[in-house]
Amino acid sequence: MHKDFEEDVADAAARVLETNWTGRYTVPATGLYPHQWSWDSAFIAIGTRHREPARARAELVTLLDAQWSDGRVPQIVYDVGRDDDYAPGAGFWRSATSGLVQPPVHAWAAWLVHCADPAGSAREGFLARVYHRLARWHEYLHGPRAGAVGLPVTKHPWETGTDNSPLWDAALERVPPEARTAIRRPDLQHAGTGERPGSRDYRRYYRLAEAYRDAGCADDVPIGFAMVCPLFVSMLAVSELALARMARSLPDAGGGAPSDVERGAGGDAGTHEATAARVVASMDAHLWDDDLGLYVALDDTTGERVRRATVNGLVPLLLAGGPTEARARTEASPSAGTTPAGTAPAGAPAAARAAVAGQAPPVTGRAERLLATLTGPGFLGGGPFLPSTSREDPAFDPALYWRGPAWFNTSWLLLRAVRALGRDDLAVRLGEHFAVAAPEGFPEYIDPDTGAGRGTRQFSWTAALTLDARLSDESAVLPEP
């Protein structure tokens, strides 16, 4: 593509982020989403780091300032002055934040933000400011949120970030579509007909949110929805590995003596790596679907796997070499955390060693199956863009929110995964997704067949991840500074 065009796209993306910046954080979209959203801020920081690294750091620090005392990082931090513009708002939660959470992309984002400007990060003591808070966030997910197989459960479709994915249909069916709250839908003013969840979905969403709020947002009270999501779990595993990188870097980044880091409240680097490997091993054991060739969700209430093919189930490809490789890594080397930064333990399999060294690991086992599914007829083999729900799933709808449209954050996640695996051909394919962003006005999502924009426009994570896809040449999921 022509260099001037590339620069125009990057400038246009940066302008969207500038417009949506409030001075402390970036709203996802000024009309539809007028507050700070948790995983949006992580994706936004990943893009903003290239041009405004200090702002990227501030984005994450502002979010972490809203962390609850139990460690949770809230789904939404409200601008109470705009409480009428989005529902449910602070009035519903009786709190300045939502009580729910979203996928834990934050530690990974913080690491990428640090890597983009290590000197600025060190000057601000950024890693030291965020590390322990991020570790407490993960402890909340590993503790009160742990379900039957030890993986964190999401207690509401809003927590998954992929709100109306068919993965949640069966569990939602059990929730009575009756809420006590009078439901307002300001969202419908900002998206086309048939693009947002329907009123029956919303009555169930509110019913669950009311139940959680009324239980004081306590996690030991069953509210009728507890799902393990492969996308959420993958983000936790990648972020746990990011915490390990941070723990090792902290002495150099102004974070204190090495002994503080190794024994800090968040645990030492080796503990984070062992935790990541445990999470991946559990995902591998409980969420893999050999017929569909991807990971699926698990219903923690019934113990049943939800056998639906969605992009959520491809995201574990980020764990380079496949989850089995990561499990082998811990089993082979329980003292993995004692190796110096930038090296892999001697007992680590080739994939882990290659990933640390920033080289493409060999593609074996489940990674190979996931690549076959990614390129198969349900996903990239069936059309130009990566749909959120498989084209072969009965619920596939190219216009309806998470039930078919292609989203920029999931294409970005898979782009990172295939780059790390050295699959340049697929990186080019997924990169094409970002070519339509600027011409379509940085839409929230696109039609997976035509690339036509859908949902709201001037959407922050679309702009941010377009910037990152254009400006970052990192090939490792977790690069070095």
Exposure b/e, 376-403, CB count within 10 A at least 16 = b: bebbbebbbbbbbbbbebebbbbbbbbb
Nearest-angstrom CA–CA distance, 215 and 396: 35
Pick one of 28, 230, 321, 453: the residue that binds ligand 2M8 (CB under 6 A).
28
* Site residues (CB under 6 A) for ligand 2M8, limited to 74-93: 75
163 carries an active-site annotation = yes
Q: Which residues pair with 446 in a beta bridge?
A: 406, 453
Nearest-angstrom CA–CA distance, 273 and 336: 7
**Helix residue ranges per DSSP H, 436-481:** 460-471
Q: Which is nearer to ligand 2M8, 40 or 284 (CB)?
A: 40
Query: Which is catalytic among the residues 52, 195, 284, 444?
Result: 444
Q: Which residues pair with 227 in a beta bridge?
A: 154, 299
Smallest CA-to-CA distance from 93 within 215, 221, 210, 219 is with 210
Q: Is 436 exposed, middle or buried (0-12, 13-18, 19+ CB in 10 A)?
A: buried
Which strands form 406-407's sheet, in the order they lie side by side? 406-407, 445-446, 453-454
Q: Which is nearer to ligand 2M8, 20 or 67 (CB)?
A: 20
Instruction: For residue 189, give Cα distances in angstroms to 33, 54, 84, 238.
Output: 12, 34, 13, 36
212 binds ligand 2M8 (CB under 6 A): no
Q: How far is the CB of 444 from ligand 2M8 (least distance, A)?
A: 7
Q: Which is nearer to ligand 2M8, 37 or 137 (CB)?
A: 37
* Site residues (CB under 6 A) for ligand 2M8, limited to 258-317: none
Residue 439: count of CB within 10 angstroms of its CB: 12
Nearest-angstrom CA–CA distance, 366 and 356: 20
Q: Which is nearer to ligand 2M8, 28 or 443 (CB)?
A: 28
Instruction: For residue 319, give Cα distances in angstroms to 1, 129, 166, 366, 420.
Output: 30, 27, 24, 11, 9
Residue 7: count of CB within 10 angstroms of its CB: 11
Tell me: cis bond preceding 53? Omega within 30 of 0 counts: no
Query: Which is catalytic among the residues 18, 70, 163, 449?
Result: 163
Q: How far is the CB of 10 from ligand 2M8 (least distance, A)?
A: 22
Q: Is 251 exposed, middle or buried (0-12, 13-18, 19+ CB in 10 A)?
A: middle
Q: How far is the CB of 114 from ligand 2M8 (least distance, A)?
A: 23
Q: How far is the CB of 86 from ligand 2M8 (least distance, A)?
A: 7
158: CB partners within 8 A, 6+ apart: 75, 98, 100, 102, 205, 209
Q: How far is the CB of 478 from ligand 2M8 (least distance, A)?
A: 23
Q: How far is the CB of 198 from ligand 2M8 (least distance, A)?
A: 12
Q: Which is nearer to ligand 2M8, 318 or 426 (CB)?
A: 318
* Site residues (CB under 6 A) for ligand 2M8, limited to 144-183: 158, 161, 163
Contact 389, 404 (CB under 8 A): yes
Q: Which is nearer to ligand 2M8, 28 or 349 (CB)?
A: 28
Q: Which is nearer to ligand 2M8, 28 or 293 (CB)?
A: 28
Size of the site for ligand 2M8 (CB under 6 A): 10
For the chain, the C-alpha Rg in angstroms (whole number) is 21
Instruction: For residue 243, give Cα distances in angstroms to 34, 138, 361.
Output: 30, 10, 22
Q: Which is nearer to ligand 2M8, 101 or 115 (CB)?
A: 101
Q: How far is the CB of 111 from ligand 2M8 (least distance, A)?
A: 21
Q: How far is the CB of 76 from ligand 2M8 (least distance, A)?
A: 7
Smallest CA-to-CA distance from 65 within 134, 138, 168, 167 is with 134
26: which DSSP letter? B
Residue 189: count of CB within 10 angstroms of its CB: 9
Q: How far is the CB of 181 from ligand 2M8 (least distance, A)?
A: 15
126 binds ligand 2M8 (CB under 6 A): no
187 binds ligand 2M8 (CB under 6 A): yes
* Site residues (CB under 6 A) for ligand 2M8, limited to 32-71: 33, 37, 39-40
**Helix residue ranges per DSSP H, 94-229:** 106-116, 118-124, 126-142, 157-160, 169-173, 199-214
260 carries an active-site annotation = no
Site residues (vs ligand 2M8, CB under 6 A): 28, 33, 37, 39-40, 75, 158, 161, 163, 187
**Which residues are the active-site residues?**
163, 444
